[in-house]
Structure 1
């Protein structure tokens, strides 16, 4: 019972790649796919969902591609996950116990708060990774 499926993981990876793209030109899907190690056909489906959720914009044409619809600091990770997963699920269905239903509902709300970071907050993890590499060389 995964909390976040590959849709959420790959979608978050794609959004992170777009957030790191400093250029104001669109990022082509083949580049997002290569940088984030996401199969291109699957990525197209994910970006379509993210576009419908108004988290990315698409530009057609030879120099087209994808851009974030908002600044990275204005996009919450929970928004990305909910757009792709439809909701953050602790369990797939209601259980036949009102006490456990309340517990799982409360747990879901706490999980949403955990993911209430902006996309730009992922840069902090890049810094932690760099420190890890520095100390382990």
Structure 2
């Protein structure tokens, strides 16, 4: 399976928030630097993750993003499915058989 760069960035951003769970809201420049994700792209991704209730945000000087659930309650599959859409198994185009 080949994942889009957007999905990889989303997974890395959520991983960073999970590492910092219970530290309060984390500002996006911190996540951006720690995970080498372009800040402008991260802002868009986090907005989508917020709308999907994977993260919550807090405004203001002490604001930032936090996971909406405990890390143990998130699955990589649900994150991938949200970003990539429904994943379907398809036959090999070349029709090759493995032995």
TM-score band, normalised by shorter chain: 0.7 to 0.9
SS in 2 for 1:58: strand
In the TM superposition, what whole-angstrom CA distance separates every residue of 1:62-121 from its partner, at most 9, and x where no partner exists? 11000000000000111111222223366xxxxxxxxxxxxx18xxxxxxxxxxxxxxxx
Higher helix share: 1
| 1:9-88 equivalence runs, <5 A | 9-88=8-87
Does the CA contact (< 8 Å) of 1:26 and 1:67 recur in 2? Answer: yes
Does the CA contact (< 8 Å) of 1:4 and 1:88 recur in 2? Answer: no
Aligned residues: 91
TM-score, normalised to structure 1, is 0.61
CA RMSD of aligned residues (A): 1.7
Does the CA contact (< 8 Å) of 2:49 and 2:55 recur in 1? Answer: yes
Does the CA contact (< 8 Å) of 1:58 and 1:67 recur in 2? Answer: yes
Does the CA contact (< 8 Å) of 2:21 and 2:66 recur in 1? Answer: no
TM-superposed CA distance for 1:28, in Å, is 0.3
TM-superposed CA distance for 1:3, in Å, is 2.2
Q: Which of the two has higher C-alpha Rg?
A: 1
TM-score, normalised to structure 2, is 0.83
Does the CA contact (< 8 Å) of 2:7 and 2:80 recur in 1? Answer: yes
Give the unaligned 5+ runs of structure 1: 91-103, 106-137
Give the unaligned 5+ runs of structure 2: 92-99
Does the CA contact (< 8 Å) of 1:27 and 1:64 recur in 2? Answer: yes
Which structure has more relative contact order (CA 8 Å, sep 6+)? It is 2
